[in-house]
Structure 1
Amino acid sequence: MLSHKIHKRALGFVAAATLVYGVSLVSALDEPFQQPPLELIASDFLPKSVLSGEGYAVDERVVNDGTQNTYTIKSDYGVLTVTGGYALLARIQEIKATRALEQLKDSDEFKDAAKGAVTGMVEGGKALWDEPVDTTKAAAKGVGRWLSNIGSSVTSEDPHQDNAFETTVGYDVAKRGYAVAMGVDPYTDFEPFQERLGEVASATAAGAMVTSMAINVGAAGSLVGTAATVTRLASMQNLLKDNPPSALTKLNRETLLAMGIGGYQADALLKNYNYTPAEMTMICEALKWMGDITGREIFVAYAASAPDRDVAQFLQHYAEMLSDYIATVETGDIVDISGNAWLVSRSGSLVGAFPIDYLAWVEGVAETTGAASEYVSGHGIKRKELLLKGKVSPQARAALENRGWKISENVRLASPADAASS
């Protein structure tokens, strides 16, 4: 049985049942719920170009928990499962990048670089002790920064933190650079990619640059708007490439404090290691792009409580959708409704902009949108809207429209990050 954890987060952690004149909203309207898990078809959500490619094929059977799809990928690296369309596209990108790295291993350029890598790493490491002053200047571009990076590698509890020796010889710098260049999160948990990336980085760390490493693996298919993560990675390429996790954490904390987030709240979010350092940076940047609004501390608290990777990835993309709406459609303020982060636009709309794959009419959705409707009634808000990155079931559309909701599906919002990188 598929867990309901994503749909509980997607429109909240299942708010307490909304009561209207002492009668449950759900029972009063007496509409039948859909019962998850729902079985859907992948080709109803993905174009042919994404469904299959070199080294992988997406199984047509999809399981949905009321909001998010769980896909199965049959690949050269085994059978893989991912939850969320954004996670599917990221995994496909990683598969393509892994295959590209494997093909590179047979090239003469790689073989020549690899020959010098071991000698270069040994000599480079030896020089740090034999000639510490000059070598450190050349290797670190600032003693304080280098020592900080090394110290963090030794003492940090962050599981994504670079290894101390690998930080010293530049191995992790190379890994980050190549991953970002290929549109992949440097801290992905996809082991085949990390293994191939490590082999390539070893050939580069001692200065034996492999010029063909800047591999253009392309975005995952031609699904409009779904390569947002690749675009955002590119827009922050230097930030992610040049900074180890410890430095990113420091920069992200400064970003959060600058927008008025309390130190304890910032630390609670930053110490949630269900997010990769890249995902955490994207959340902090998305919050910054929201500009002069109130309520960002509500989203920070919401994101800090992510209990696992699936929810963390959902909330990263949720932050980006909210940020894109605020920056390119209409500004507003974040409000807390029964423990969930919603947006109230300046023109008087309650807006939920969610990276949901398929919204079904399930009890959690009914209760959470019911709580939102009650908030609207009590605060003089004019309209209530749901903007979904995916689709909505006919049952959910009928039920929600009967309750006064305006629903938009397959929403693609322009991104300030995209504009900055164009």
Structure 2
Amino acid sequence: MTPGRILTTVAAACTALGASAQAAEKFEKPRSFPSNLIPGISAAGQNYTIASPVTSDGFMRIYRVKTPYGDFEVIGDALMRARQFELAALRELDQVTYSEAFNKALAEAGLSPIRFAGQLLVNPLGTVGNTLSGIGSLFGQIGSSAHNAGKVQGDPIADLTGASRRKRELAVKLGVDPYTDFPPLQDKLTQLSQAAATGGLLVSGALMAIPGVGGLIVSNASTSANLTNMARDSTPAQLLDIGRQKLAAMGVDAKLTEVFLTNRNYTPLDAAIIVTSLEAIPVAGRDVFISRAASVGRRDAAFFMRRQAELLAEYQEKTGVITGFVPLGGFPFTLTRSGVMGFLPLDALSWTENTGRAMRDITDSMKRLGRAGKAELRITGQATPLAKQQLKALGWTVVDSARI
């Protein structure tokens, strides 16, 4: 299920318009785009090439990326930009692993490159069954790990050897998620952190600065430093505990909180970013957002929810107009001083049957709730003329290429 399907699945459960009205409505095919003409996306880099044309599903662009590590599908401009940073980081890490110092560190640590082939420290389906205690300075980390066993990504043993800490430090320096779901980068981070922790490899000094990276790649500058510190200094289990405390303070039900925080489609950092973003929007109904976020079943949909949370937090910081959250068609929209607003990280909005079905359901939900005032849909990408026309007929004002 792509992020676009987040909208269409909730629409499918509701009554469609009459057959005659449906037949009269105009639809269009999702657009395709030359890979070298997409704003903010480089069609090729030193270790990747994006296949052209780039297709879309009526909501999001769908990238096919060729790399020396294999071919990958990436859904959405935001996730593609994240992959570009990750590929740049991977290029730098490759230089270290080709070095004599790296091989020497592996030997001193009693490790071998073969042992690492295809091995990931973060296994989304793995659990840790051991109970660890009595480790002095690591008491807080072990305490969190013990009562979160099986719920978090990570390895308490790696915490004790220092490899997990080194991995987080390395990832933050490179501006990437320590728990990235991108296998080549996750594998490389694991190799180098193990060699640094147990073999004495000095990694940080060997890395070149990646242009544009001064910390974690997060949207909201006001929360960037705090999230950078959390990503570097907190274990996944500790992030889970922090998330619980903050969501409880927002009034989110404890069971819903657990479902969200243990949804493996989010990395621990994704979940922390969503929670921190919602914390920056002190209004009623934030459980509406968490409820939808908890239900996603794919990685790209989870990243979509993270981006929406970031956008809303930054928008609220700049405008202060959000007064609450409301579910429309099963999807979180915001109440503002002038009406209802949806701020969605959509790339390429076309008026397909799926789009029409979703937006009619959202509009019907708004009417049933008696929400009066302006209905505004802000998207980060572009909407076709037909999509704007049809949305206007439904009562929506469309702001595309929306910037904070």
The TM-score bracket by the shorter chain reads 0.7 to 0.9
Residue identity in the other structure for 1:274: N
Identity within the alignment, % = 26
Alpha-carbon distance in structure 1 between the residues aligned to 2:308 and 2:9: 12
Residues 245 and 218 (structure 1), Cα distance of their counterparts in 2 relative to 1, 3 Å cut: same
Alpha-carbon distance in structure 2 between the residues aligned to 1:299 and 1:242: 27
User: What residue in structure 2 maps to residue 123 of structure 1?
Assistant: none
Query: 1:69 pairs with 61, 64, 75, which one?
Result: 61
**Structure 2 SS opposite 1:101:** helix
Alpha-carbon distance in structure 1 between the residues aligned to 2:278 and 2:57: 28
What is the root-mean-square deviation of aligned Cα atoms in Å? 2.9
Residues 237 and 74 (structure 1), Cα distance of their counterparts in 2 relative to 1, 3 Å cut: same
Answer whether contact 2:339 2:371 (CA < 8 A) is retained: no
Alpha-carbon distance in structure 2 between the residues aligned to 1:234 and 1:397: 38
Question: Scaled by the length of structure 2, what TM-score is found?
Answer: 0.83
User: What residue in structure 2 maps to residue 343 of structure 1?
Assistant: 334
User: What residue in structure 1 maps to residue 115 of structure 2?
Assistant: none
User: What residue in structure 2 maps to residue 27 of structure 1?
Assistant: 21
Alpha-carbon distance in structure 1 between the residues aligned to 2:240 and 2:29: 41
Alpha-carbon distance in structure 2 between the residues aligned to 1:358 and 1:398: 15
Offset at residue 159 of structure 1 (A): 5.9
Are 1:359 and 2:363 matched, yes or no? no
Within 5 A, what are the aligned runs for 1:104-115? Answer: 104-107=96-99, 110=102
Query: 2:314 pairs with 310, 319, 324, which one?
Result: 324
Answer whether contact 1:17 1:24 (CA < 8 A) is retained: no
Kindly provide the CA deviation profile for residues 246-271 of structure 1, in whole angstroms up to 9, marking residues without a partner as x: 11101101010011111111111112
User: What residue in structure 2 maps to residue 284 of structure 1?
Assistant: 275
Are 1:307 and 2:311 matched, yes or no? no
Alpha-carbon distance in structure 2 between the residues aligned to 1:10 and 1:338: 8
Alpha-carbon distance in structure 1 between the residues aligned to 2:8 and 2:218: 22
Residues 341 and 147 (structure 1), Cα distance of their counterparts in 2 relative to 1, 3 Å cut: closer
Alpha-carbon distance in structure 1 between the residues aligned to 2:19 and 2:280: 37
**Structure 2 SS opposite 1:275:** coil
Offset at residue 322 of structure 1 (A): 2.0
Answer whether contact 1:18 1:370 (CA < 8 A) is retained: no
Answer whether contact 2:145 2:238 (CA < 8 A) is retained: no
Kindly provide the CA deviation profile for residues 22-46 of structure 1, in whole angstroms up to 9, marking residues without a partner as x: x64992692211245x433333423
Are 1:238 and 2:229 matched, yes or no? yes
Within 5 A, what are the aligned runs for 1:73-152? Answer: 73-107=65-99, 110=102, 116-118=108-110, 136-137=135-136, 142-148=137-143, 151=146
Alpha-carbon distance in structure 1 between the residues aligned to 2:145 and 2:391: 54
Residues 326 and 169 (structure 1), Cα distance of their counterparts in 2 relative to 1, 3 Å cut: same
Residues 213 and 331 (structure 1), Cα distance of their counterparts in 2 relative to 1, 3 Å cut: farther
Answer whether contact 1:298 1:335 (CA < 8 A) is retained: yes
Residues 391 and 169 (structure 1), Cα distance of their counterparts in 2 relative to 1, 3 Å cut: same
Unaligned ranges ≥5, structure 1: 120-131, 221-226, 414-422
Are 1:261 and 2:252 matched, yes or no? yes
Residue identity in the other structure for 1:84: G
User: What residue in structure 2 maps to residue 39 of structure 1?
Assistant: 32
Alpha-carbon distance in structure 1 between the residues aligned to 2:14 and 2:204: 59
Q: How many residues of Structure 1 are paired with residues of Structure 2 in the alignment?
A: 376
Alpha-carbon distance in structure 2 between the residues aligned to 1:280 and 1:57: 30
Offset at residue 284 of structure 1 (A): 0.7
Alpha-carbon distance in structure 1 between the residues aligned to 2:193 and 2:4: 39
Alpha-carbon distance in structure 2 between the residues aligned to 1:219 and 1:60: 26
Unaligned ranges ≥5, structure 2: 112-132
Offset at residue 234 of structure 1 (A): 5.4
User: What residue in structure 1 maps to residue 203 of structure 2?
Assistant: 210
Residues 29 and 380 (structure 1), Cα distance of their counterparts in 2 relative to 1, 3 Å cut: farther
Query: 2:181 pairs with 189, 192, 198, which one?
Result: 189
Residues 175 and 213 (structure 1), Cα distance of their counterparts in 2 relative to 1, 3 Å cut: farther
Are 1:369 and 2:371 matched, yes or no? no
Offset at residue 210 of structure 1 (A): 3.3
Residues 296 and 192 (structure 1), Cα distance of their counterparts in 2 relative to 1, 3 Å cut: same
Offset at residue 380 of structure 1 (A): 4.9
User: What residue in structure 1 maps to residue 403 of structure 2?
Assistant: 412
Are 1:9 and 2:13 matched, yes or no? no
Within 5 A, what are the aligned runs for 1:245-256? Answer: 245-256=236-247
Query: 2:325 pairs with 316, 326, 334, which one?
Result: 334
Alpha-carbon distance in structure 2 between the residues aligned to 1:210 and 1:62: 36
Query: 2:379 pairs with 374, 385, 388, which one?
Result: 388
Alpha-carbon distance in structure 1 between the residues aligned to 2:140 and 2:76: 38
Kindly provide the CA deviation profile for residues 255-300 of structure 1, in whole angstroms up to 9, marking residues without a partner as x: 1001111111111111211111110111111110112x11111111
**Structure 1 SS opposite 2:302:** helix
Residue identity in the other structure for 1:43: N
Alpha-carbon distance in structure 1 between the residues aligned to 2:372 and 2:383: 24
Residues 167 and 230 (structure 1), Cα distance of their counterparts in 2 relative to 1, 3 Å cut: farther
Answer whether contact 1:179 1:186 (CA < 8 A) is retained: yes
Offset at residue 370 of structure 1 (A): 2.3
